[in-house]
Structure 1
Amino acid sequence: MYIKEQYLYLNNRNVKAVVRNYEQKDFAELLAIQKESFPPPFPKELLWNEEQLHNHTSLFSNGALCVEIDGVVAGSITSLLVEYDLKHPQHTWKEITSNGYITNHDQNGNTLYVVDICIRPSYRKLNLGKLLMQALYETVIHLKLERLLGGGRMPGFSQHSHVLSPQQYADKVISGELYDPVISFLMRCGRNPLMLMPDYLEDEESSNHALLMEWKNPFL
């Protein structure tokens, strides 16, 4: 069980954020948040369904977290445990997450893998994504895992695909020459880029590419 309370500052006032495990009572709100967070052209079939959410809470509740602001669910983050092989790093989101159903969750895995993170647009000024990511870092430490890992979308690539390759775009984002809404955010959360992942996820904005990004347990 995970619960953490923290005050955040917005519009000249302090607001209380509570990070906790999400439960069945939250499913309707979580499904609504998905629709708000990932509008078209993001594929509708990649949004959560109730069966997936049930699996998240029943198979690995430690990896299913949400954040409340003044009692309103404002975002969530989901993960599973995998045994990650650095000698064979290439994979797709569908393969490593069992298409979001996490039926391949390995309770003896060495890596916490991020399945999804989404924040209601109206709450994004509060940096709730960073707060949720920090909660997973704490989970990595608590479970004595080697790392947190996940593929970061590159939605900004669609604006540069006519002049840059996916690797060139990723390199410019990593160097700070370009800004990407996801990759730049993840770097500021402490995630380090490892490699480009082609055909990672059906994602028109990213031309189906993602950047594999890692946070290592500093105590191992």
Structure 2
Amino acid sequence: MELEILFEDGEALVIDKPGGLPLDTPRAGGPSLEDRLDELKLGFHRHPAPVHRLDRDTSGCLLLARNPKALKRFSAAFEEKQVQKRYLGIVAGTLAEMEGTIALNLSKVSTAKDGWRMIPAKKGKPAVTHWRKLDEKNGLTLVEFRPETGRTHQIRVHAASGLGHALLGDPVYGSSKGAPRTMLHAAGLTVPRGDKEPIVAVAPLPKDFAALGFSDE
């Protein structure tokens, strides 16, 4: 898996993370981003560190900090909701409305049979996602998601429970049929840096999205 670099300067890297590549080494073994940090030093002495999380299946913009001070500042920007994130997702179904906002609090539940998942719950943590329909083909819809908060599995649960249609290929909140992975792509990232120019990165539409007839235009 080639790691394309979308942005690079002295304190930050943004890579286009391939779908299917986990950040941490899986319990069962196999490749992960952890194995690739050496090649991402790019002449620096330290390994870069991921600032935020992307699910294993999610492709696209992943920010890595190249020193501890930068990691602290970038993490604070995420926590203070200063970071603009744009995702593209393919949902398994058609939508009557063109755009809207989903506000569903989320809580984590766990069972021995199914493992853990996130569910909408009044007493859960607040989660807000703005969405817009971009295109529709063969009973599938390309949707732009702009999350205000960064809860675990937020877009996946908001698609399934807020839009009424899970992301295509999502084995937890929908069905694994129709795609070999959960069809979610982190298409854009903007991180403010005070007096410095912001970090701006755009990840091209993945081939598996294009293979279903969609384009990011």
Smaller-chain TM-score bracket: 0.3 to 0.5
Normalising by structure 2, report the TM-score.
Answer: 0.33
Q: TM-score with structure 1 length normalisation?
A: 0.33
Structure number with higher strand proportion: 2
Structure number with the higher helix fraction is 1
